[in-house]
């Protein structure tokens, strides 16, 4: 039988845009931010804006509003966006990625990130509250925190952008001074959001639906995930650590954000620090006398920190409520790695809290911490310097711990005051931003193993941190042999920034999770958990700090069935393993580690305090569909004529049908049979 291929009318009319990223609606206790379309999508005639002068056509001159603006990435700034927001002549926006990244920098985040949720307030260091002393992100435009009444999409694919521009050139460009003639090239964007107003409103409505409806329609979901944590010496994850046991806490964030949904490369804002942290954990784990250290070390990776410290505030809450193995009293000192990849002249800055240092005992402990860190950098290509005593802490997870207790701590960054990162919380915080470069012509496997200059620099930082942690944990021997491995760092940078689906990541994850190894990595916290980043940090940490144990698959997946596995102390994972040479089969094995996950859901949702000012209240709206397409649109006159002609034909058909039906007995009566005539 011959095959036939359908070719629908829709495919002949529309060209779908498949490589796009939408701006979606997020909500907190008081506001809604982001973008949305109307319920049936928004349509407009395309106008390409490549320089500011092109805006006048959209805002005042163009005869065919509303317009769908295709905006050059270099013009995606606050000034232009507020102009477009203030007119009814714009129905939507498609932003083309700027290549290369805007040289002047671009940050849609706030100038004072996480303001109001850190340690500084009217009751604690009021002179430092609201970034009065230091504006951390001076390039921040706050665009991500504006509310737009029209849809905004990012065009990720240059080929699709070119198709749109070609359609615009062919149909929409005025010829010879006269306005463009129909048909015109138009775009339609669908991104209708279900939630409105604030988290309080949408959670209340969702809660009512859940109570009274058989099929409740949930309107929004809290941003949530899991924190990843591990200890140098195993502790009972379901028990409690004795009050006298001291723990040195190391922390970083593992999430980022940008204006567009699930596009958060976060190279400098997140990846540089957590990769350094993982490398330091590996270096410390390899020290021969590590099991003799009097203090434990806890490696902590917080999720959701971009959105008012979701992960760290939850861990502090759990510690206070005795829902975590550690208490705040167990924390001896706190070291946090913030943005560390853009060091100028190899300097790393040590930030401390000037308010808690007014206490003499805290000041002495902080001084000891700073001295140990400074001494650890001797002989390394990293110089650690103190920031002036009058400067507050930068936005950091440590601030949430300080809110609860005066813990001696330090935050390590590559910036003395304002961020070095010109692309904080933007789509341009990419590998190029932290100078990750590879020679041309390398295969994926060669690229994975190629040690970049950035990897060497971050390995130096990891070495200094590992040496300092060894001394903070009470180690007395020489630290010169403690060395982070640049090859591990370069593999992690490749995996977390360039390509998740690489041979190393494939070999260290569980077989049933191989589906998480998608394309280009993104580090947005999201509402479905755990996200890919969380899983991968978990398995990389287990690989770097755990040990391979001789257990069968059955024993590894059910350690309580095997003798002396100490299930409460360790986590067991049956991982895929590497490919056998010249084969497609793998050699799986069992990894024993002290890596655990703990909830990163804001306590505000646990307590149902949706209007909280103490804890993060961020939620993400639900939606039905997100899509974009272009097509040719006819003039209103032609549309009306077509409609009228259609209605006339319909009426004529109805009348004809009526009369035919009325005269059916005449029109369709059977002819008489002549042989049946009676005389």
Residue 615 within any structural domain of the chain: no
Tens digit of pLDDT for each residue in 593-618? 999 999 999 999 999 999 999 999 99
- Domain containing 310: what range? 224-540+596-601
Are 40 and 108 part of one and the same domain? yes
SS3 at position 430? coil
Detail the DSSP E strand segments found in 289-394. 296-302, 331-337, 347-351, 383-386
Are 282 and 359 part of one and the same domain? yes
Nearest to residue 460, comparing CAs of 484, 490, 487? 484
Residue 657 within any structural domain of the chain: no
Question: What are the CA-CA distances from residue 550 to residues 247, 554, 663 (Å)?
Answer: 30, 12, 92
Q: How many domains does the chain have?
A: 3
Category of 258 on φ-ψ map: left (φ > 0), alpha (ψ -120 to 50) or beta: beta
Residue 448 within any structural domain of the chain: yes
Q: How far apart are the C-alpha atoms of 274 and 256, rounded to whole Å? A: 12
Are 482 and 566 part of one and the same domain? no
Q: How far apart are the C-alpha atoms of 619 and 609, rounded to whole Å? A: 13
Residue 277: what pLDDT?
Answer: 98
Residue 1: what pLDDT?
Answer: 45
Q: What angle do CA 34, 36, 39 make, to 5 degrees?
A: 160
What are the structure tokens assigned to 611, written together? 């209007």
Are 455 and 480 part of one and the same domain? yes
Residues 230-267 as b or e (16 or more Cβ within 10 Å = b): bbbbbbebeeebeeebbbbbbbbbbbbbbbbbebbbbb
Beta pairing class for 571-575 and 589-593:
antiparallel
Q: How far apart are the C-alpha atoms of 108 and 396, rounded to whole Å? A: 19
Q: How far apart are the C-alpha atoms of 385 and 483, rounded to whole Å? A: 21
Residue 213 within any structural domain of the chain: no
Query: What is the 3 state secondary structure string of 169-227?
Result: HHHCCCECCECCCCCEEEEEEECCECCCCCHHHHHHHHHHHHHHCCCCCCCEEECEEEE
Detail the DSSP E strand segments found in 24-102. 26-27, 32-33, 42-49, 67-71, 90-96
Are 161 and 71 part of one and the same domain? yes
What are the structure tokens assigned to 187, written together? 């775009």
Question: Which residues in the chain come in under a pLDDT of 70?
Answer: 1-7, 670-679
- pTM value is 0.92
Residue 202 within any structural domain of the chain: no
Contact at 8 Å (CB) between 330 and 235? no
Residue 672: what pLDDT?
Answer: 63
Are 302 and 154 part of one and the same domain? no
Q: How far apart are the C-alpha atoms of 600 and 224, rounded to whole Å? A: 6
Are 44 and 100 part of one and the same domain? yes
A 10 A CB-CB count for 187 gives: 31
Q: How far apart are the C-alpha atoms of 339 and 421, rounded to whole Å? A: 8
Are 466 and 568 part of one and the same domain? no
Residue 650 within any structural domain of the chain: no
Starting at the edge strand found earlier in the chain, the sheet holding 589-593 runs 547-549, 589-593, 571-575
Q: How far apart are the C-alpha atoms of 103 and 139, rounded to whole Å? A: 12
Residue 188 within any structural domain of the chain: yes
Are 391 and 291 part of one and the same domain? yes
Nearest to residue 45, comparing CAs of 190, 192, 191, 188? 188
Question: 640 burial class (0-12, 13-18, 19+ CB within 10 angstroms)?
Answer: exposed
The CATH number of the domain holding residue 255 is 3.40.630
Q: How far apart are the C-alpha atoms of 615 and 604, rounded to whole Å? A: 6
What count of Cα atoms within 13 Å lies in the side-chain half-sphere of residue 129? 11
A 10 A CB-CB count for 442 gives: 12
Look up tokens 């890919």; give the residue: 532
Look up tokens 């232009």; give the residue: 80
Residue 674: what pLDDT?
Answer: 60
Are 323 and 183 part of one and the same domain? no
Are 231 and 105 part of one and the same domain? no
Are 28 and 110 part of one and the same domain? yes
- Give me the helices (H) in 377-500, please: 398-404, 444-449, 453-472, 486-493
- Give me the helices (H) in 86-146, please: none
Residue 677: what pLDDT?
Answer: 56
Starting at the edge strand found earlier in the chain, the sheet holding 15-17 runs 15-17, 627-633, 184-190, 42-49, 67-71, 90-96, 152-155, 20-22
Residue 555 within any structural domain of the chain: yes
Residue 495: what pLDDT?
Answer: 96
What are the structure tokens assigned to 95, written together? 């932003």
Q: How far apart are the C-alpha atoms of 235 and 238, rounded to whole Å? A: 9
């Amino acid at each position: 039988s011959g095959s036939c291929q359908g070719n629908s009318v829709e495919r002949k009319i529309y060209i779908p845009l498949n490589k796009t990223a939408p701006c979606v609606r997020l909500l907190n206790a008081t506001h809604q931010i982001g973008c949305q379309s109307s319920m049936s999508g928004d349509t407009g005639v395309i106008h390409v804006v490549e320089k500011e002068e092109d805006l006048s056509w959209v805002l005042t001159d163009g005869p065919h509003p509303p317009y769908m603006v295709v905006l050059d990435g270099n013009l995606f700034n606050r000034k232009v966006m507020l102009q477009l927001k203030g007119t009814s002549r714009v129905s939507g926006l498609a932003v083309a990625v700027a290549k290369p990244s805007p040289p002047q920098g671009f940050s849609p985040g706030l100038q004072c990130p996480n303001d109001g949720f850190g340690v500084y307030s009217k009751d604690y260091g009021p002179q430092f509250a609201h970034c009065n002393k230091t504006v951390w992100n001076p390039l921040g435009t706050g665009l991500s925190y504006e509310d737009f009444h029209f849809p905004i999409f990012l065009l990720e694919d240059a080929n699709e952008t070119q198709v749109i521009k070609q359609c615009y050139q062919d149909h929409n460009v005025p010829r010879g001074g006269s306005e463009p003639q129909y048909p015109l090239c138009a775009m339609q964007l669908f991104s209708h959001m279900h939630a409105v107003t604030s988290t309080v409103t949408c959670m209340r409505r969702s809660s009512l639906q859940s109570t009274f409806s058989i099929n409740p329609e949930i309107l929004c979901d809290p941003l949530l995930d899991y924190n990843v944590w591990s200890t140098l010496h195993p502790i009972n994850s379901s028990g409690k650590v004795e009050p006298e046991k001291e723990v040195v806490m190391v922390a970083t964030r593992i999430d980022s954000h940008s204006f567009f949904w699930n596009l958060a490369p976060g190279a400098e804002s997140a990846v540089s620090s957590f990769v350094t942290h993982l490398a330091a954990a590996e270096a410390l784990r390899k020290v021969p006398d590590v099991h003799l250290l009097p203090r434990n070390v806890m490696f902590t990776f917080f999720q959701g920190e971009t959105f008012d410290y979701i992960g760290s505030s939850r861990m502090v809450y759990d510690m206070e409520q005795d829902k975590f193995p550690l208490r705040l009293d167990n924390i001896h000192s706190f070291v946090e790695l913030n943005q560390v990849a853009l060091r100028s002249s190899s300097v790393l800055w040590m930030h401390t809290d000037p308010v808690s240092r007014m206490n003499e005992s805290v000041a002495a402990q902080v001084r000891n911490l700073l001295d140990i860190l400074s001494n650890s950098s001797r002989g390394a290509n990293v110089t650690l310097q103190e920031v002036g005593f009058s400067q507050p802490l930068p936005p950091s997870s440590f601030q949430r711990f300080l809110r609860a207790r005066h813990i001696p701590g330090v935050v390590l960054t590559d910036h003395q005051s304002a961020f070095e990162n010109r692309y904080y919380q933007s789509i341009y915080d990419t590998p190029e931003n932290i100078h990750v470069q590879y020679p041309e012509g390398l295969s994926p496997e060669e690229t994975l193993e190629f040690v970049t200059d950035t990897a060497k620099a971050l390995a130096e930082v990891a070495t200094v941190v590992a040496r300092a942690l060894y001394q903070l944990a009470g180690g007395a021997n020489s630290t010169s042999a403690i060395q982070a491995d640049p090859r591990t760092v370069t593999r992690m940078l490749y995996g977390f920034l360039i390509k998740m689906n690489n041979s190393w990541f494939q070999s260290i994850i569980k077989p049933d999770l191989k589906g998480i190894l998608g394309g280009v990595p993104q580090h947005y916290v999201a509402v479905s958990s755990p996200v890919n980043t969380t899983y991968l940090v978990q398995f990389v940490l287990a690989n770097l700090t755990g040990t391979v144990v001789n257990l069968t698959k059955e024993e590894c997946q059910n350690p309580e069935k095997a003798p002396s596995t100490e299930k409460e102390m360790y986590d067991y994972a049956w991982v895929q393993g590497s490919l056998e040479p010249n084969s497609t089969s793998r050699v799986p094995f069992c990894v024993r580690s002290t890596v655990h996950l703990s909830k990163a859901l804001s306590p505000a949702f646990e307590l149902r305090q949706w209007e909280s000012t103490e804890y993060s209240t961020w939620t993400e709206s639900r939606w039905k569909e997100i899509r974009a397409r272009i097509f040719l649109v006819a003039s209103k006159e032609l549309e009306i004529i077509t409609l009228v002609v259609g209605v006339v034909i319909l009426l004529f058909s109805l009348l004809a049908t009526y009369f035919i039906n009325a005269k059916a007995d005449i029109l369709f009566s059977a002819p008489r049979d002549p042989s049946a005539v009676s005389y």
